[in-house]
Amino acid sequence: MSALFSPITLRGASLSNRIIVSPMCQYSAEDGLANKWHEVHLATLAVSGAAMLCIESTAVEPEGRITPGDLGLWNDATEAALKMVLDTIRAHSNIFVTLQLAHAGRKASSHKPWHNGHLIPPSEGGWQTFAPSALPQKEGEAPPIELDRTGLTRIREAFVAATERAARLGVDGIELHGGHGYLLHQFMSPVSNQRTDEYGGSLQNRLRYLLEIFDAVRAAFPADKPLGIKVSASDWVEGGWDIEQTIALARELRKQDVDWIVASSGGISPLQKISPAPGYQVPFAEAIREATGVNTTAVGLITEARLAEDIIANGQADFVAIARAMLYDPRWGWHAAAELGGTVDAPPQYWRAPPREHADIFGKTVQGAR
């Protein structure tokens, strides 16, 4: 039996395999509103054969968007727009749908990646950014405003309000974005956090804000639905956040009943030194899992079914999240099942699609057309 296609339980839910469609920013919203692009994009990935689909990074307030094209969930209009997308997914797929909630902090107000990704000043349609300390992401950029108590409270309440909206929408789970150099990561990393109050300095202090938000979101979300988090396990910068600190965070999150940790890396500084290769971040997921027993998700240039199978079979992680490979091949899960001898769910309209030698990947025999 394929390890990748073995079932797993998250709180009250049973997932049929270990494949997750990773949250991938599309930068295609207007004023935070999901639209037809998101509907087509996510509905396509919902029939990929993965057991879980995570909706892209969704800002909890307008100032928390990475770009003007980011999804949002901060008012009735953004909630209604996302409901349209979820309704389409639910009509054609029973995939487990999670939503990633985020705040970009000092990396907000940026151009889309295909328009250079640089900071947009307020004079050119951008907005003022906020962060733990008044340190810009890149040299030469305008510094963010250091968050005071009022700002910390505002953002924490925005996470709670977005969680309540997500619960009304009926999403199956939530993932907090605590990595890639965004706000929660900025509080944890000494590269970006130079505060001298109880939210800066020691590791315990640098973890405090993320743990407060995690606790508040957990309290606002139904107890039978899971809550996970994405982290950067290393800044890849000397003197920055590293795997040892990540494991300390994971131990604290386990006390707060975290359901999974996605072990990504980087994003806090342009000075990072990374040498990407297939599976290069898998050791982070393995280290966290071994040290804490928390479910982990491996990410990062996992494109081949055999690599994904080995990660699960060798106990290096509990899930694999597929990103760019899923965009390149929206039936990645089908093809992995065919290679590894697994089965996947698919709409009946597609049951006759596989070639004869893989006709059993949907777990049923389908007769030809009359």
pTM for the whole thing?
0.96
Tell me, yes or no, if 182 is annotated catalytic: yes
- Beta strands 145-146 and 13-15 are unpaired
How would you write 126-169 as a 3-class SS string?
Answer: CCCCEECCCCCCCCCCCCCEECCHHHHHHHHHHHHHHHHHHHHH
**Structural domains present in the chain:** 19-324 (3.20.20.70)
- Average pLDDT of the chain is 96
Q: How far apart are CA 165 and CA 159, in angstroms?
A: 10
**pLDDT over 90 for what percent of the chain?**
95
Rg over alpha carbons for the chain, rounded to the nearest Å, is: 20
Q: What is the mean pLDDT of residues 352-369?
A: 80
If DSSP codes are grouped into helix, strand and coil, which group holds residue 184? Answer: helix
Tens-digit pLDDT profile for residues 279-321? 999 999 999 999 999 999 999 999 999 999 999 999 999 999 9
**Of 182, 199, 209, 328, catalytic:** 182
Determine the number of helices (DSSP H) and then strands (DSSP E) in the chain. 10, 13
